[in-house]
Structures are given as structure tokens and as C-alpha cells.
Structure 1
Amino acid sequence: MAKIALGTSQEAAQPDCIRALVVEFITTFLFVFAGVGSAITADKLEAGALVGLLAVAVAHTLVVAATVSAGHISGGHLNPAVTLGLLVGGHITVVRSILYWIIQLLASTGACFLLHYLTGGLATPIHSLASGVGYLQGIIWEIILTFSLMFTVYATMVDPKRGALDGLGPIYVAFVVGANILVGGPFSGASMNPARSFGPALVSGNWTDHWVYWVGPLIGGGLSGFIYQNFFMFGTHVRIPNHEEAF
């Protein structure tokens, strides 16, 4: 069973960590800017529900493929749930995970504030549950959607035995994000990403159902990472160097 690496307090000052944090900020910023921006545009153009959903799904698919590829230095997490999924598999330390979460939230907030300014103060759409969808249903939606996202990340990008899929991971991950938005968007909003939900909620001041988009994705991402690492990739994992503490 994979052990969770604690890391050290000096890790934040290491050049490779600083570079990774800068890249993670840039890629998360660009992801949220395009994702939230597409939702604002759909509202502004008063597109129909289906057309708007398709536009948002396509925008997220394209930007995820690009930013995950561009974020190879940091791993292109863009998402606290993905970071948690890699943490439980022993692929990132606790210290660096916390730094990633902070950076992801800051990037999302910055992107949403900039969009609010550039659009002349247009409303920033938030993730919230659709009418008739209860809290438990919303959480289950987000668990399943994020589980599929994290499972794809492991299968196409983390697993050293990915074979012919090598190099295609960002594209397949993007396809899963787009597909999940199409299926789950009308019900839970298909966030799959606490950072993606955090920025719009903060900028708009609307925290309706917001906790759902932390609980669901974090459970889904963490559970998926644990299962894949320990049941499908066990014995192939290259451990973090010995100077990182583990338990």
C-alpha cells in the first residue's frame, strides 16, 4: 500500500518547487479564466440551455487539454481534488499539496476578479445544485464525476504501464471533463474541482451549496487515487526520494 509522504518544511524554498508553483498558478489561472469566461459568454449571448451547455463543455475540454499539457513542470493539476488523489497515492508530498491548494485557490480567485473587471461587472456564474437535486444527490454526482476524472489521470498519465497512451493523457483527461459536464452539468454543475467553484463564489459573494463542491470532489478524487494506486498500479510506483518522510 502506498505511503503518504509528509515532505519537509524546507521544500517550499526549493527551486523546483517554486517553479512548479508558478506554473501551477499560471495554468490554473488560464483554465478558470477560459472555463468561467465561457459560462459568462453563454449567459451574455442568451444561448439556449443546450447550446450553452455544449459551449461550456467544449471550452473546458479545449482548455484542460492545453493547460494540462503546458503544466508538465507542476503536473498540471489545476484542481485540489487531483492533488489529493495524487497525494494518497504517494506521488506528491503533504507539504507540496498544501502549497498547490493555496496556489490553485489564488489563481481561481484572480482569474474571476479579472473576468469581472473585463466584462464590465457581468454576473459570475457559480456552481449550484439544480432545482430538485438534493445535497446527497449533488455530492454523489460530484463523487462519481471526479472519480472518473481522477481514474483517467492515473490510467493515462501516472501509471508507468500506460503503454500506447503515453503522451495522450491530457487529451483523454480533457475528453472526460467535457463528457462529465455534458452529463452532470444540468444537475450538479459538474464542477469536479473545488478551485473552479471557489473563485466564482468568492467574486459573486454567493456561497449557495458551495460546500458540496468541496466534499464531493475531494472524496471522489481521493478515493479514485487510492483505489487505482493500490489495486491497479501496486508494485509499479516509484517512491518519492528518501529525504521525504512517510507514514
Structure 2
Amino acid sequence: MNANTERAERARRCCRSFLTWCNSGSIMVAFKGVWTKDFWRAVSAEYVATLIFVFLGVGSTINWHAGKENPPPADLVLISLCFGLSIATMVQCFGHISGGHINPAVTAAMVVTRKLSLAKAFFYVVAQCLGAVTGAGLLYMVTPAKVRGSFGVNDVNSDISVGHGLLVEIIITFELVFTVFATCDSKRTDLGGSAALAIGVAVAIGHLFGIPYTGASMNPARSFGPALVTLTFTNHWIYWLGPILGGLLAAGLYEYLFCPDAEVKKRLQQVFQKDTSGKYKEVEADEVTVKPGSVDVEKDEKKDPYNDMGDVLSSV
């Protein structure tokens, strides 16, 4: 058998393996619920919400006194309030449609806590990035060149290291995502007021503190839009890694340590049981004892977490 025949045979085997995988339903399971009108309505909502958020937020960073004699510095309070109130408004407007993530870090946090499927999260992040680029592009088009300046592109303060800037982004995004989970926790009965406003305040606080350090991204899409429009990617990686790490840490700690779901507790109690000495030990699957009536098998079998839009319309 010559080399060409061997390559052809390997290609045929690969094709057969791929078709077998497709026929097994793996693709349909991964993308179940994606091909629905409600889902694409949610994705388009993320696009529009992020577009408006970036247009308004980055627009507040424009210094209209640039080029004049002794121009005043950027107004830190103005920028912080604009970002905070913009995100609060967008969450209030689109929260019931898409969950109002408007931030890849929030979307990643929803995935790690199993509130959103990975396949659907991919479309959300793409929509958020496209919305950010569109919003930044429209702002760039309507803003005079002489006042654009850095155009709101995030960068680390020259007086601190990139590592310190990464730490700042992790902490301020942790504060935001923890607020998201704490104010939208359906298990709480003490909540009052507006969750959207609380999230907006968290964004404003992060900006009030973080702007002098890193420009206060807290949102990879918000940083990506202006960076792509101006083709300025200096230290851009920290505005993805920092917020996503902060978001995952906040989500994991809230959902699995501080306020775990009752179902999680029940599963842990089934997996870890006390021995005669009073210490907990891990129990093998066939050793787990389930109390009669404690689990509704028929209900669990019928339950499909991705059968409706509950995971897509997760509140934030």
C-alpha cells in the first residue's frame, strides 16, 4: 500500500468516526436548546445590551477639552457613574430576556455553576464581543478625531506591574460577580430593592477604585471593543484573564461554599458518610444508602435542565 492509499484510508476512518459521533447524538446533546427562537432572542439581547453599554460607558471617557490649553483631567466620578448606571439600566431592560449578562466573566461564572450550558455560553460571549465592537465602532465614528485620545482603551498604570494590575482586575470582578450571585439568589428571602441597581453600584464601585490602576475593565468584552477598533492590545490579556478568574472564583465560593444549594448538600451527604469514629469518609457508589422517599427517581429522570430556557434566562 503506497503513501497516497494510506492517507486516503486514514481520511476515510476519520470521516467514519466523525459520522458515528454525530449519529450518537453528541452534537445534539451539546447544542440542545440552541436552535430555538427564544434562545436567539436571548443572544440578540446580549448583543444589543453590550452595544449600548460600551457606547455609553466608553463615551464617558472622552475628554472633550483635549487639545485646549490646560485641559482638566478625566472626571473619575462621571465615568464610574456612567458605567454603573448604564449596566444597571441594561440589566433592568434585558434581564428577563437573556439574563442580562453583558459580560463574558458573568457568563463564565454561570457556566461553572451549571446555570448555563457551555454551548450556549459560547454564543453569548460571541454576541457580547460583537456588540462591544459595534458599540465602540459607532462611538469612534461619531467622535471627532481630535478628542478621541486613548478612546477608553484599558491599560495598566505605568507605576504598577502587570501582575499587580491582574490582581486588581481579579478583585474588582470578584466583587461584581459575587454581588450578582448574592442579589439574585432565589434561595434568599431577605432580598429587597432592585438587583439591577445593586449590580450597577458594584460596577461603579469597581470603577471608582480601579480606574487609576487598570482603567477598571471588569468586563473582557468592554475592553475588547475599543482595543479592536483602535488596534491597541497592550497588556490586553489581563483584561480577559483577570475578570474571568475573578468571576469564576466568586461564583465557586458563593455557590459551593457560602450558600450551597440544598441539592448539593444532599448529594454531598450521600457521598460522604460518618464512620464509627465519627469521621467523614468517601463512600463508594454501591455503598450509598438512600432513605426511602428521599429521592424521586421518576421526577429526576424526567427533569431536563436544558429542556426550557431556564438556564438561558438565568437572572443576574
Secondary structure of the residue that 2:247 maps to in structure 1?
helix
Q: Relative contact order (alpha carbons < 8 A, sep ≥ 6): 1 or 2 greater?
A: 1
d(CA) in 1 for partners of 2:219 and 2:29?
24
Is contact 2:169–2:246 with CA below 8 Å preserved after alignment? yes
Match for residue 144 of structure 1 among 166, 171, 179:
171
Q: Which moved more, 1:165-174 or 1:147-156?
A: 165-174
- Name the amino acid aligned to 2:165: G
- CA spacing shift, 1:58–1:17, aligned 2, 3 Å: same
Aligned residues with identical type, % of pairs = 36
Would you say 1:189 and 2:215 are equivalent positions? Answer: yes
Count of residues paired in the alignment = 235
Q: Is the CA contact (8 Å cut-off) linking 2:177 and 2:250 kept in structure 1?
A: yes
Does residue 1:44 correspond to 2:67, yes or no? Answer: no
| Structure 2 counterpart of 1:129 | 156
Deviation at 1:65, TM superposition (A): 1.0
Amino acid at match of 1:219: L
**Maintained 8 Å contact 1:11/1:95:** no
The runs of 5 or more residues in structure 2 that have no matched partner are: 1-27, 265-299, 308-316
Q: Distance in 1 between matches of 2:65 and 2:263?
A: 48
1:206-240 Cα distance to aligned partner (Å, 9 max, x none): 1111001011001000111111111133224799x
Query: Which of 79, 99, 108 is residue 84 of structure 1 equivalent to?
Result: 108
The amino acid of 2:241's aligned partner reads V
| Counterpart residue type for residue 179 of structure 2 | T
Q: Does 1:178 align with 2:204?
A: yes
- Rate the CA distance shift 1:120–1:7 in 2: closer, same or farther, 3 A: farther
Aligned to 2:34: 12
Query: TM-score, normalised to structure 2's length?
Result: 0.70
Letter in 2 for 1:75: G
Matches within 5 A, 1:1-247: 8-40=30-62, 43-46=63-66, 48-49=72-73, 52-72=75-95, 73-121=97-145, 122-123=148-149, 124-157=151-184, 159-166=185-192, 168-236=194-262, 242=304, 244=306
Change (3 A) 1:154 1:236: farther
- The separation in 1 between residues aligned to 2:119 and 2:76, in whole angstroms, is 37
Deviating more after overlay: 112-121 vs 71-80: 112-121
One-letter code aligned to 2:249: L
Q: Per the alignment, do residues 243 and 192 of structure 1 end up closer, same or farther by CA in structure 2, a change over 3 Å counting? A: closer
Give deviations 1:76-126, integer Å, cap 9, x for gaps.
111000111111111111011110000000000000110111113434220
Give the number of the structure whose alpha-carbon radius of gyration is greater: 2
Q: 2:13 — aligned with what?
A: none
CA-atom RMSD, angstroms? 2.1
In the superposition, relative to structure 1, how do residues 98 and 235 fare at CA in structure 2: closer, same or farther (>3 Å)? same
Q: How far apart are the structure 1 equivalents of 2:126 and 2:192? A: 30
CA pair 97-10 structure 1, distance change in 2 beyond 3 A: same
Quick one: distance in 2 between partners of 1:243 and 1:92?
A: 9
Mapped contact 1:7–1:244 kept (Cα < 8 A): no
Give the partner amino acid of 2:98. Answer: S
Shift of 1:7: 5.8
| Greater Cα shift, 11-20 or 189-198 | 11-20
Q: Which residue of 2 aligns with 1:3?
A: none
Q: C-alpha displacement at 1:165, in angstroms?
A: 2.5
- Once structures 1 and 2 are overlaid, which stretch shifts more, 118-127 or 92-101? 118-127
Contact 1:105 1:195 in 2 (8 A): yes
